[in-house]
């Protein structure tokens, strides 16, 4: 793949100040937000609150990373929240003891593989629009989950998952360590591997990608599987955080993860995005929500602020993109 | 002889142009036949009119959603707008019959205005409608919750006529939905602006090159969508007798299903509201059939998903990656 190697060098070499600002400008907004939070309310920067922030940050960030893979190949994954809830239901379907964790992981991985493949196959082989394909799997998963639990899921989350979801190691939540691992591995995969290059080429121009001899369908399906797998992981973590299960674990994460990606400059039209962007976008959302809470603004205002942020961020990027070319 | 040949040649063409409507009618036929074999009461006029009555809300939202999708966009603010409309309706009327007309008018105007605002933002900010309406949805839900955290106000007894009223056994709300659908279908077919909706959705670039005004077209479709949401909000307030801040939340995604079942391409430019109306009816009919068969509510979702997969497999979106 000499073609993809050339792409890799040309993209990695663009380290000018402008390119840096363009790519990581939103990352600079984050320290500003943190400083503002510290100024407005001293309790914001307390170790306890920051640790709490990390705890809430991890699940959303993990989902957002998966969402960014799908968005880079011109897709959208609306089924992530349903996948999260399904993983949570699976987590409580066993006896609730630690020796079942391996089984839980295996079943969850299989379901995630099936869901991601179904999404990917519908999008590539049947040419269903990603929005519709993932909407259908969302409804399907929801229905199967309801049918399986008869509407009232019960059972216990194994202690090991509870530790993963809510415990801390010297102030740093375990789920953040998981997130760190996921981010580093997938960051290398996306930004430093031939596979990652191919993902960007497929998203940038599927036709060119095909002419390069890249298996467009396979790459796209892989991205959907990655998204479902990460959503399942986030669902397990969240079920450990909540400690009990209902049918709606992860509700709202599909939209929040899309918002995180858009704020983090992952392009809705594909071909552009980064793990760091997705992480930063997720962090901005969590920090804003936390500040709103600490400032005593009515909780309803959170939604209004979130709405304004997403539209404003998208408007900012579209201006820059159209003016620069 | 010539006429016979012409009609033979014309039939497939008609079918090709209305594959969606034809497909959904076939599915309705299949469900009806199955229903008739399950229960004698399924294919009775009374039951079918009940199904029509239950379709009203979904039909109303989906008509507006069809327009935005035809124009190549989507409206994800519908759920929140419905909630806001239903809360404002019952909150402002608050049981006073004199206020029904002014409040209903105001709510319909507000809905249309929110739609126009969506269109304005899409044009002015050059942001994808998906993002704009998603953001607008979050904002509207916040506003709704600021207005009311729980059920608010009440509507006078007479207002529920909109939801439960019958004239000569024909449900009023459903009739209004059909009339609205007919008006929109005529608008799409005979008004220049209506034809332009298809042109824009089919190929935005060509539409721009031939000088179509994207702003106007978008204002029409999002304005109509907002109006339809407000109407749905009024209807739900009438049905439940009270406005609730989360009453519309499920309609955001649910409104897309009938559109797709009715053969409208999610990528825009092809389809129509009549198919959507049939699609909404199909969903209600299917749920009704599953109720007759004593299938639990949970499996109804599975059935709905499977029928969508079936539908999209029949008419694959033939655009692919050009």
pLDDT band at A72 (very low <50, low <70, confident <90, very high): very high
| A33 vs A263: CA distance, rounded Å | 14
For B42-314, the fitting CATH number among 3.40.50, 1.10.1740, 3.30.70, 1.10.3470 is: 1.10.3470
**CB of A246 within 8 A of CB of A98?**
no
Domain count within chain A:
1
Q: Rounded CA gap, A312 and A133, in Å?
A: 28
Residue A320, pLDDT > 60, answer no
Nearest to A164 by CA among A234, A60, A70: A234
Smallest Cβ distance to A301: which of B136, B137, B142?
A: B142
Q: What is the pLDDT of residue B316?
A: 56
Q: CATH no. for residue A156? A: 1.10.3470
Alpha carbon separation from A124 to A75, A117, A200, A241, A302 (Å, rounded): 11, 10, 16, 36, 37
Decide: A202 and A9 in contact? Cβ < 8 Å: no
**Mean predicted confidence (pLDDT) in A179-187:** 93
| Cβ-Cβ contacts under 8 Å, A151 against chain B | 297-298
Nearest to A300 by CA among B144, B114, B92, B152: B144
CA distance B8 to chain A (A): 31
Residue B243: helix, strand or coil by DSSP?
strand
Out of A127, A146, A216, closest to residue B316 by CB? A127
Count the helix, strand and coil residues of chain A and give each as a percent rounded to the nearest 5.
75, 0, 20
Cα–Cα distances in angstroms (integers) from residue B58 to residues A135, A136, B51, B261, in the given order: 17, 17, 12, 13
Q: Please calculate the CA angle A257-A258-A261 and round it to the nearest 5 degrees.
A: 85
Contacts of A261 in chain B (CB under 8 A): none
- Mean pLDDT, residues A227-236: 94
What is chain B's length? 322
Q: Which residues of A touch B297 (CB under 8 A)?
A: 146, 151
Residue A303: predicted pLDDT: 83
Which residues of chain B have a pLDDT value below 50?
1, 317-322
Mutate to test the interface with A, among B77, B135, B245, B312 (most CBs of A within 10 A): B135
CA distance B170 to chain A (A): 32
Q: How many angstroms separate the CA of residue B320 from the nearest CA in chain A?
A: 6
Three-state secondary structure readout of B118-150: HHHHHHHHCCCHHHHHHHHHHHHHHHHHHHCCC
Contact assignment for B145 to A306 by CB distance below 8 Å? no
> Which residues are CB-neighbours of B177 under 8 A, at least 6 positions away?
B55, B56, B59, B60, B63, B277
Query: How many contacts does A have with B, using Cβ atoms within 8 A?
Result: 136
The pLDDT > 70 percentage for chain A reads 89
Question: What pLDDT, in 10s, does the model give residues B256-301?
Answer: 889 988 888 888 888 889 989 999 999 999 988 888 888 877 788 8
Contact at CB, A319 and B126, closer than 8 angstroms: yes
CB atoms within 10 A of CB B140: 26
Q: Structure tokens of B240?
A: 């439940």
In this structure, are residues B119 and B222 in contact, taking their beta carbons and an 8 Å threshold? Answer: yes
Of the candidates A128, A136, A311, the beta carbon closest to that of B121 is on A311
Q: How far apart are the C-alpha atoms of A42 and B319, rounded to whole Å?
A: 55
Query: pLDDT at residue A22 above 80?
Result: no
Q: Which domain holds residue A194?
A: 2-324
User: E strands of chain A, at which residues?
Assistant: 168-169, 172-173
Q: Using 50, 70 and 90 to split pLDDT, how confident is the model at A23? A: low
Residues of A in contact with B316 (CB under 8 A): 126-128
CA A124 to chain B, closest CA, distance in angstroms equals 9
Q: What is the pLDDT of residue B292?
A: 86
Q: What is the pLDDT of residue A264?
A: 87
Average pLDDT over every residue of A77-88: 92
Q: How far is A25 from chain B (nearest CA, A)?
A: 19
Q: Look at residue B133 in the predicted model and tell me its pLDDT.
A: 92
Q: What is the mean pLDDT of chain A?
A: 83
The residues near B128 (Cβ < 8 Å, ≥ 6 apart) are A268, A269, A314, B122
Q: Chain B residues with CB inside 8 Å of A128's CB? A: 312, 316-317
Strand, coil or helix: what is A173? strand
């Amino acid at each position: 793949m000499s073609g993809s190697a050339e792409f890799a060098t040309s993209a990695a070499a663009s380290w000018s100040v402008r390119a840096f600002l363009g790519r990581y400008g939103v990352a600079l907004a984050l320290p500003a937000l943190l400083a503002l939070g510290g100024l407005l309310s001293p309790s914001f920067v307390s170790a306890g609150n920051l640790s709490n922030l990390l705890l809430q940050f991890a699940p959303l960030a993990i989902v957002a990373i998966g969402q960014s893979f799908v968005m880079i190949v011109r897709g959208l994954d609306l089924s992530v929240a349903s996948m999260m809830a399904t993983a949570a239901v699976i987590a409580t379907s066993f006896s609730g003891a630690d020796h079942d964790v391996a089984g839980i992981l295996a079943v969850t991985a299989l379901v995630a593989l099936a869901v991601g493949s179904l999404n990917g196959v519908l999008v590539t082989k049947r040419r269903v629009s990603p929005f519709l394909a993932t909407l259908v799997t969302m409804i399907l998963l929801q229905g199967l989950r309801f049918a399986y639990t008869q509407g009232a899921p019960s059972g216990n989350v194994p202690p090991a998952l509870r530790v993963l979801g809510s415990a801390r190691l010297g102030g740093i939540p375990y789920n953040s360590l998981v997130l760190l691992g996921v981010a580093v591995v997938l960051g290398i995969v996306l930004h430093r591997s031939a596979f990652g290059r191919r993902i960007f080429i497929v998203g940038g121009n599927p036709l060119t990608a095909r002419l390069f001899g890249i298996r467009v369908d396979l790459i796209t399906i892989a991205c959907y599987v990655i998204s479902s797998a990460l959503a399942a992981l986030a669902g397990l973590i969240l079920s450990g955080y909540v400690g009990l299960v209902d049918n709606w674990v992860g509700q709202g994460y599909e939209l929040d993860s899309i918002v995180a990606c858009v704020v983090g400059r992952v392009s809705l039209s594909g071909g552009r995005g980064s793990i760091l962007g997705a992480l930063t976008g997720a962090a901005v959302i969590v920090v804003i929500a936390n500040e709103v809470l600490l400032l005593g603004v009515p909780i309803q205002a959170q939604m209004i602020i979130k709405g304004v942020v997403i539209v404003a961020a998208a408007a900012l990027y579209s201006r820059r993109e159209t003016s620069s070319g | 002889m010539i006429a016979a040949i012409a009609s033979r040649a014309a039939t497939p063409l008609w079918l090709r142009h209305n594959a969606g409507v034809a497909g959904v009618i076939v599915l309705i036929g299949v469900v009806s036949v199955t229903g008739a074999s399950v229960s004698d009461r399924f294919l009775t006029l009374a039951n079918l009119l009940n199904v029509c009555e239950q379709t009203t809300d979904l039909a109303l939202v989906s008509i507006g959603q069809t327009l935005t999708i035809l124009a190549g966009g989507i409206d994800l603010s519908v759920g929140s707008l419905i909630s806001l409309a239903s809360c404002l309706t019952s909150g402002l009327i608050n049981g006073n019959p004199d206020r029904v007309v002014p409040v209903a008018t105001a709510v319909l105007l507000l809905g249309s205005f929110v739609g126009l605002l969506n269109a304005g933002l899409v044009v002015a900010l050059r942001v994808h409608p998906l993002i704009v309406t998603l953001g607008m949805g979050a904002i509207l839900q916040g506003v709704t919750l600021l207005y009311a955290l729980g059920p608010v106000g009440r509507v006078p007894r007479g207002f529920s006529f909109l939801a439960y009223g019958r004239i000569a056994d024909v449900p009023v709300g459903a009739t209004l939905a059909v009339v609205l659908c007919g008006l929109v279908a005529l608008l799409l077919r005979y008004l220049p602006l209506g034809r332009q909706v298809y042109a824009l959705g089919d190929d935005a670039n060509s539409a721009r090159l031939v000088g179509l005004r994207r702003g106007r077209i978008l204002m029409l479709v999002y304005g109509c969508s907002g109006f339809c949401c407000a109407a749905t909000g009024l209807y739900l307030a009438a049905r439940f007798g009270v406005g609730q801040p989360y009453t519309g939340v499920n309609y955001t995604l649910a409104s897309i299903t009938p559109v797709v079942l009715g053969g409208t391409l999610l990528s825009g430019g092809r389809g129509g509201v009549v198919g959507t109306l049939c699609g909404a009816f199909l969903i209600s009919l299917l749920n009704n059939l599953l109720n007759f068969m004593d299938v639990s509510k949970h499996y109804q979702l599975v059935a709905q998903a499977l029928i969508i997969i079936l539908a999209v497999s029949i008419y694959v979106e033939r655009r692919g990656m050009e």
